[in-house]
Amino acid sequence: MSAEAAFRFADTAPRYTSYPTAPHFHDGVNDATVRRWMAAVKDGEVVSLYIHVPFCDRLCWFCACHTHHTLRYEPVAAFLEALFREIALTAALLPPSVQVGAVHLGGGSPTLLTPDDLHRLMGMLRETFRFTPDAAISIEIDPTDMDEARLTAIADTGFNRASLGVQDFQMKVQKAINREQSFEDTRAVVEGLRARGVRAINLDLVYGLPHQTVESIAETVAMSLSLRPDRLALFGYAHVPWFKKHQKLIDEAVLPDREGRMAQSARAAALIRAAGYEAIGLDHFALPGDSLALAAARGALRRNFQGYTDDPFETLIGLGPSSISRFNEGYSQNTTAMGVYRRAVEAGRLPVSRGFELSDEDRVRAWVIERLMCDFGFSANEISGRFGEAAQKVLAEASDIQTRLPDVFSKEGNNFVVRPEVRPQIRSVAAAFDSYLGRGTARHSIAV
């Protein structure tokens, strides 16, 4: 793909939560591969854990996550027993001196777990791994799942950050995506968490949904800001019905077009910044004292499968169906099929279905794409210092792009910097450095 095509004509692009991106993973990475990678984790290294709870008690039509809809708890309980086996197996394969500095429960809806099972899960993690004293422990919350017992369990099990899915507070939009959730329910959860000592609150908003307008998303933003969250995420809805069949239930005729999406994003971002939040990367905002804002200010912002993060740890171990791990050597992804997952861990095998082993060039391109997504630019000196001769090919490409497209890239000393007016299309800019893009049959969501 030419740079011109990437910058000017690409309507779609990956979200770049990894490089190479997940569509390029393959089954050449398996149980034996990941066992070697786990054994190679350094003694005393601090790692992150991601636990995927792949169940929801309602099917939100906009969702592109790997999740199962269930109204019974029995499948959830059976999954937990398999998850406990995977946790024990993983811990046995890592050096015993490894420590855990961050834990994130995602889904699906982790708050579907009963309070007792949340206690069991967090208790096993603490018994199995050594947590650092200041470990960041976060959970994704569906406010409509919550009750007093769950709020108390979240606080009692040591969670210090919670991310609440909001999407949009307008009833017309909520009905169109099968996600009815009142502002009052959301506010009650925020207040309940804060009253119990969980002070760090994130809210996740989405633009580009059916029936959304610039005016309606401005109302949702104003309501969200009234709760004064520490962070807000402003995601663009990814309409990928070829990948998630339930999205076909959404009427495409009432989805905003590209210009409408851009106007919604711009209006929402302006309102959030005006309320005193700092813009972080492409789609996150944080209060100035929040750890994400502090990481961005010192050039330590990272990007992984959960989006923008201040998590500094190089090794991320994913647990549960569909979860993705990141090691120095590459990426691995667990199977999404629940039956296959359970049989694998019951047989003492890692439930790995695919992955990607990184080359030296992959590591250079991954670093450049991450810096573009996080900082809207990168240092020629830093890339050369990190990667030496392996960086020269990518530096030559950057110089060529800057020469031919000075309205996209500027050169400020030894830094390549994406111009402010182009930054909303940063995914397309990053795509110019993706040597795998265009290979295979992968399709991606709209790039704004």
Residue 4 clears pLDDT 60, i.e. is over it: no
Which candidate, 273, 295, 271, 259, places its Cα nearest to that of 370? Answer: 295
Identify the CA nearest to 48 among candidates 334, 316, 318. 316
Q: Which of 222, 211, 213, 221 is nearest to 260 (CA)?
A: 213
Written as six digits, the tokens of 127 are: 């018994």
β 377-379/415-418 pair status: antiparallel
- Domains present along the chain, CATH in parentheses: 41-319 (3.80.30.20)
Q: Which of 7, 15, 22, 13 is nearest to 281 (CA)?
A: 15
- Give me the residue label for tokens 């500095």: 101
Residue 9 DSSP code = I
User: What is the pTM (predicted TM-score) of this model?
Assistant: 0.92
CA distances from 366 to 123, 319, 371, 418 (A): 35, 23, 9, 17
Task: Please report the pLDDT score of residue 315 as a whole number.
Answer: 98
Tell me the percentage of the chain whose pLDDT exceeds 70.
96
Nearest CA to 277 out of 296, 258, 259 is that of 296
Assign residue 47 a region: left if phi > 0, alpha if psi is -120 to 50, beta otherwise? beta
DSSP letter assigned to residue 237? P
Tokens of 247: 């999205």
Over residues 384-399, the mean pLDDT reads 96
Query: Can you tell me the distance from the alpha carbon of 58 to that of 39, in angstroms, rounded to the nearest whole number?
Result: 39
Task: Tell me the per-residue pLDDT of 428-448, one tens digit each, with 9 for 90 and over.
Answer: 999 999 999 977 655 445 555
pLDDT range class, residue 10, cuts 50, 70, 90: low
Nearest to 229 by CA among 326, 106, 143, 303: 143
Q: What is the mean pLDDT of residues 417-423?
A: 94
Nearest-CA neighbor of 272 among 263, 256, 285, 258? 285
* Nearest Cα residue to 331 out of 344, 318, 345: 318
**Residues 127, 98: Cα–Cα separation, whole Å:** 13
* Collapsed DSSP state (helix, strand, coil) of residue 309: strand
Q: Reduce the DSSP state of residue 50 to 3 states and report it.
A: strand
Paired with 161 in beta bridges are: 138, 200
User: Using the 8-state DSSP alphabet, how is residue 89 labeled?
Assistant: H
Instruction: Identify the residue with better confidence: 67 or 12.
Output: 67
Among residues 14, 69, 122, which one has the least CA distance to residue 366?
14
Q: What is the pLDDT of residues 358-387, one digit of tens each?
A: 999 999 999 999 999 999 999 999 999 999
When pLDDT is averaged across residues 172-180 and rounded to a whole number, the result is: 93
Backbone angles phi, psi at 270, to 5 degrees: -65, -40
Give the lowest-confidence range in 63-67, 176-180, 189-193, 310-314.
63-67
CA separation for the pair 281, 343 (Å, rounded) = 40
Statement: residue 187 has pLDDT above 80: yes
Instruction: Give the contacts of 230 (CB within 8 A, at least 6 positions apart).
Output: 199, 200, 201, 202, 286, 287, 290
Which pLDDT score, from 0 to 100, does residue 61 have? 80
pLDDT at 442: 55
> How many CB atoms are closer than 10 A to CB 236?
22
According to DSSP, residue 148 is labeled H
Question: In 359-414, where do the E strands start and end?
Answer: 377-379, 409-412
Q: Which of 5-19, 38-52, 105-119 has the lowest mean pLDDT?
A: 5-19
